[in-house]
Amino acid sequence: MLALGWLATSCSSGNNEVEEVAKVGSGTIALTVAAEDAFANGARAVDETPYKNVNNYTVQILQGDTKVKEFKYGEKADTYELSNGNYTLVAFYGTESICSRTGFYVTGSSAFSINGNTQNVTVSCAPTCGRMAVNFDTKMADYFENYYVAYETAAIKEAGASAVWGKDDTDPWYLRLNAAGEVVKATVNYTLKSTGKTYQILKEYAMKPNQAWTLNVVPNVIEGKLILTITIDESTDDKPIDIEVPSDWI
Q: Which of 35-44, 83-92, 233-242 has the highest mean pLDDT?
A: 83-92
Rounded CA-CA distance 213/186 in Å is 10
Burial class from Cβ neighbours inside 10 Å (0-12, 13-18, 19+) for residue 250 reads middle
Asked if residue 63 has pLDDT above 90, the reply is yes
Average pLDDT, the chain: 82
As a whole number of angstroms, the longest Cα–Cα distance in the chain is 98
250: closest CA among 222, 215, 216?
222
Average pLDDT on 103-109 reads: 95
- Partners of 133 in the beta sheet? 214
Average pLDDT on 166-170 reads: 95
Q: Which of 26-35, 76-85, 152-161, 189-198 has the highest mean pLDDT?
A: 152-161
Give the 3-state secondary structure percentages of the chain, helix then strand then coil, rounded to 5: 15, 50, 30
Rounded CA-CA distance 2/143 in Å is 77
Q: Sorting pLDDT into bands at 50, 70 and 90, what band is 231?
A: confident
> What is the model's pLDDT at position 43?
53
Answer with the residue of higher pLDDT: 52 or 129. 129
Identity of the residue numbered 213: W
Structural domain boundaries of the chain?
29-127, 129-249
Identify each DSSP E strand in 84-224 by its residue range. 85-94, 99-100, 105-114, 118-127, 129-136, 144-152, 163-166, 173-176, 182-192, 198-207, 212-222
Average pLDDT on 142-163 reads: 96
Rounded CA-CA distance 47/53 in Å is 12
Q: Sorting pLDDT into bands at 50, 70 and 90, what band is 106?
A: very high
Average pLDDT on 153-182 reads: 96
> What is the model's pLDDT at position 45?
61
Asked if residue 247 has pLDDT above 60, the reply is no
Predicted confidence (pLDDT) per residue in 211-228, tens digit:
998 999 998 888 777 878
